[in-house]
Structure 1
Amino acid sequence: MAEPPPPPPVVVPASPPPTVPTGRSWYVSVQGSDKAAGTRAAPLRTVGRAVALARPGEVIRVLPGVYAETLLLDSKGTGVAAVTLRGEGSPRPRLVPGSTARSAVLRVQGRWNLENLQVDVGGARMFAVLFSSTASHSSLSGSELKGGTSGGGVVVEGASGITLQGNTVRHFIQAGTDSHGVAIVGPARDIVIRNNDIHHNSGDSIQCQGSMAPVENVLIEGNTLHDEGENAVDIKGCRQVTLRGNTLFGFPNAAVRPVGSSAGEAVVLHESASHILIEGNSISRAGRGVSVLAASTPSTSIWVKNNHFLDIRALPLGNGQAVRVARARNVWVEGNTIENTASYGLMLAADGLAVEGLVVRNNTLKGGSRGFLLLRLGPKASRPGALLEQNHYAEDGVVKADGVLEQLTLSSPGQLELWRQALGADQGATLLE
């Protein structure tokens, strides 16, 4: 089988940068009145009143204070400029539920830019922000969202052109089950999640899940995702997803959720995920680094490139692999650096399921002591068309190819040559000094 083609460019024509509001400003203050003019000198009292009055291109400026409101940010028309809802001053204005009758404190149905807000759900069974299917070209930036007990903090439910940037999303916890920092549900498309700090949730930092239709075209870039009850990024039924330049650590977090509901993966792909690029990420202190799994239809066209894996641990027991590919088609594992894993750094096609079109090239697998587990390949029948070349192994590390060569310690160049000959592959492989 020929090598899979190089990854196509991932195009993310998400929401353009928020425009500078051109219309009037509406001011809201806890000292205001909803009968006032809404000016700086005579502010309104509620955000809801300002939402009703604001027109496309205008900005609602919310001054510091606590606002107990549950808001529906509706459409102002098709193809119109966004309305901006902006927190002013320090500390940020704090929005808390005014009612628990709705599913979210802020439900976005039109085109809105939300900036510099604190949304404190206060233990209610609500999302902080929900972008519904009619929301488009909207953004959430520079805000803090915390404290819900429903299924997530920020939910993108079939919306398009949504940008989440520079936010903190934390402590969304359902006892004994998932609550994700950010949940993207199909048929959402053209989503950017950039430079956020997402942590201490009982589910995943980010879950991408197809529903009636797949999620398409997602960029997850420059985020810090850590200390979750389950995983950092869970991708199922999603297409054209790029994870680039993120820092991911601390999975699973037993202080948030008892260990055992997941393998504590930094990234897990399943349920027909396709065209996924995982590149240039720093991944540490996880039960697994990257897992590609499938119960039925395999994921396809996966690139795991130029990532750094460190301290991948057997928590829960039986884990500890930096990259584990159990079933898939066309997978590139290339240019990664792997250090200090509790199990094999790379465990590929060794779960009794086929991985077709596997390329393993120019990875650096570092160990700490004799017997350090570096690479395990499944039997030849489970890896049709596999290509291995130019990988770099720690001296005295252990490699294994099921049905071909039992555990072999790479204690010398001669042992490395034995590995190459037995495998009939891995030309250009070297031992690290």
Structure 2
Amino acid sequence: MRLRLITLLLLTSGLLASACGGGPSSGPQSPPSPGDAASPGFTPPDGPPGASPSPVQGAPQTPKPSSYAHEWAVSPTGDDAAAGTESAPVRTLAKALSLAGPGDRIRVLAGTYAERVLITDSVRAGTAEAPITLEGVDLPRIVPGSQPGALVAVERPHWLISGFEIDVQNKAAFAVAFSGDTEGTVLSDSEVHHAQYGAGISFHNGAHGATLEKNHIHHISIPNKDAHGVMIQPTSRNITVRDNVIHDNSGDSIQCYSTDGSDPSTPADGLLIEGNDLYGNIEQSIDIKTCYNVTIRRNKMHKARRHPTLGGNGAMVVHLSARDVLIEENDFYDAGLAIGIGGNRYGPYPSGIVIRRNLIRDMLTEGGMTGGGLQLAVSQGTQLVNNTFTRLPGPAIIMGNGDGGPTESLVVKNNIIDVPQAMQVGSQAPGLTTGSNLYRTGATFLKAGAALNLSQWQAQGQDGNSREEAAPLDPKTLSPGPAAVDRGERLDLEASCGAGPDIGAVESNC
């Protein structure tokens, strides 16, 4: 198991966009107070919450073709018997879709279109060299028509869909459903809202290679039931969800789903969740159930409050039998808890989870929330390295309480834990390894009901080379204080910029 975990760290180290200075607070900027729109985790969104966020620095964006083989036009005042030109547009999206071929662009003029958009086997596929572009002009609005089903059904590869308002008007339907061969297909720069269904956007039935990018997804809601902004379902693979604003849903912003045991389908495999602003849901910002090979990078996860009847208060969870999940360079704040690992389990333990270079700060205790950082329940070999915890009224790390099984072989190294309650350790944390952490002076460790100081904790065989410091980080920039610079243990994660790696989420002097 130890060899497998080291291999995972080596394999995932190349996923960092920047080895140095690319962490959640790479510049001399003030971290926001809870609920502030700014974040040191990535380039802040332009404008108020709900605006499309700026691209993540270093994240590849989907290029648009510079020229087109043929251009078609659609207008609510057009005629499907017309030529489909700018001066003689067709009236329906269905007609335009039937005309377009590889390399073409369909320009959809402003107005309301009460019809389903079926990019299915009745239309042509694009190619990697010549995608088909479906482009809204001044945010044309797609609303439910007379036919039931998803407003936009996408089953073809290499379609670039952008610039629409997709308003489900509280009907029981997906706004957008991806399935089958969707390699290279992108939905971008659109607003998706008010579906009263299990998800606003769903990937299922073998959907693969598709991307959601720079969309505003909100108010996907069923009274007293789960409804998620985006759901990645079994048999989906290689899906990217990047630079979106997703909020105010009755479930999660993003859920990767498989039920363990009751669903024989292959779990989703290969998911990148990057650079999103996720907040204000009844459940979590991100929920990873049994999914494999997931990267969660440079997201903001905040405003996770306990619902008076439905509960919830955490920014994200990883549970059931999730496997090989990398959580890095995210900014967690304004919630009751940053991350929960394990808890619900029917099959194998969650395993191969790496949590590194995250900011975990400014949590809350109001309404019964814990105000803590991480709650680590049943899991195997989780690595918690180079994170920064600060301004938490609750414990930074809770582990080993036996929720569903042991917190087995947890590694906690190179973290700045600027919190009065550093750890709360239950009786089921076999193989716990801690070291090279930097704690606030006077931090306590709760074990078997006794509050220990660092010296007493070390006397029990833990944290032999960790230290205390009155000022472990800069309270304004959250960059490491002098006691953390070049003092971390080399973990084969990435190159450092000094004599050694820094402790905490931010590598200085790069």
Alignment TM-score > 0.5, same fold: yes
Residue by residue over 1:81-136, the C-alpha shift from the partner in whole angstroms, topping out at 9 and shown as x without a partner, is 43221102x3x11111113511x100011122211111111111111111123433
Measured in 1, the distance between the counterparts of 2:413 and 2:147 equals: 53
Q: 1:269 and 2:322 equivalent?
A: no
Measured in 1, the distance between the counterparts of 2:193 and 2:364 equals: 29
Q: How far has the Cα of 1:21 moved from its partner?
A: 5.7
Q: Which residue of 1 aligns with 2:229?
A: 181
Match of 2:461 among 403, 407, 423: 423
Q: Which residue of 2 aligns with 1:245?
A: 298
Measured in 1, the distance between the counterparts of 2:113 and 2:380 equals: 51
Q: 1:146 and 2:193 equivalent?
A: yes
SS at match of 2:459: helix
Q: 1:74 and 2:120 equivalent?
A: yes
Q: Name the aligned partner's letter for residue 23 of structure 1.
A: A
When residues 300 and 166 of structure 1 are mapped into structure 2, their CA distance, relative to the original with a 3 A threshold, is same
Q: How far has the Cα of 1:225 moved from its partner?
A: 0.4
Measured in 1, the distance between the counterparts of 2:179 and 2:270 equals: 17
Q: Name the aligned partner's letter for residue 221 of structure 2.
A: I
When residues 110 and 117 of structure 1 are mapped into structure 2, their CA distance, relative to the original with a 3 A threshold, is same
Measured in 2, the distance between the counterparts of 1:315 and 1:326 equals: 23
Q: Name the aligned partner's letter for residue 299 of structure 2.
A: N
Greater mean alpha carbon deviation, residues 310-319 or residues 122-131:
310-319
Residue by residue over 1:285-334, the C-alpha shift from the partner in whole angstroms, topping out at 9 and shown as x without a partner, is 12221111143421001011111112223466363331111011111111
SS at match of 2:446: strand
Q: 1:192 and 2:240 equivalent?
A: yes
Q: TM-score, normalising length from structure 2?
A: 0.76
Q: Which residue of 1 aligns with 2:409?
A: 357
Measured in 1, the distance between the counterparts of 2:236 and 2:252 equals: 18
Q: Which residue of 2 aligns with 1:34?
A: 80
Q: Name the aligned partner's letter for residue 457 of structure 2.
A: W
SS at match of 1:107: strand
Q: TM-score, normalising length from structure 1?
A: 0.89
SS at match of 1:420: helix
SS at match of 2:431: coil
Q: Name the aligned partner's letter for residue 232 of structure 2.
A: I
Q: Which residue of 2 aligns with 1:387?
A: 433
Match of 1:335 among 378, 386, 389: 386
Q: Which residue of 1 aligns with 2:272?
A: 219
Match of 2:350 among 296, 299, 315: 299
Across the aligned residues of Structure 1 and Structure 2, the Cα RMSD in angstroms comes to: 2.3
Q: Which runs of 5+ in 1 are unaligned?
A: 411-415
Identity %: 32
Measured in 1, the distance between the counterparts of 2:65 and 2:289 equals: 33
Match of 2:443 among 397, 415, 427: 397
Match of 2:213 among 151, 161, 165: 165
Structure with the largest fraction of strand? 1
Q: Relative contact order: is structure 1 or structure 2 higher (C-alpha 8 Å, sep ≥ 6)?
A: 2
Matches within 5 A, 1:301-320: 301-314=352-365, 317=368, 319-320=370-371
Q: Which residue of 2 aligns with 1:132?
A: 179
Q: Which residue of 2 aligns with 1:407?
A: 451
Measured in 1, the distance between the counterparts of 2:311 and 2:231 equals: 17
Match of 2:256 among 204, 208, 215: 208
Q: Name the aligned partner's letter for residue 171 of structure 1.
A: H
Q: Which residue of 2 aligns with 1:413?
A: none
Q: Which runs of 5+ in 2 are unaligned?
A: 16-59, 472-510
Measured in 2, the distance between the counterparts of 1:15 and 1:132 equals: 22
Measured in 2, the distance between the counterparts of 1:15 and 1:186 equals: 26
Greater mean alpha carbon deviation, residues 307-316 or residues 234-243:
307-316
When residues 150 and 131 of structure 1 are mapped into structure 2, their CA distance, relative to the original with a 3 A threshold, is same
- Quick check: 1:18–1:139 contact (8 Å CA) kept in 2? no
Q: Which residue of 2 aligns with 1:377?
A: 425
Measured in 2, the distance between the counterparts of 1:308 and 1:61 equals: 42
Measured in 2, the distance between the counterparts of 1:309 and 1:373 equals: 14
Q: How far has the Cα of 1:260 moved from its partner?
A: 4.6
Give the aligned length.
411
Q: Which residue of 2 aligns with 1:289?
A: 338
SS at match of 2:221: coil
SS at match of 2:281: coil
- Quick check: 2:441–2:468 contact (8 Å CA) kept in 1? no
Q: How far has the Cα of 1:397 moved from its partner?
A: 2.8
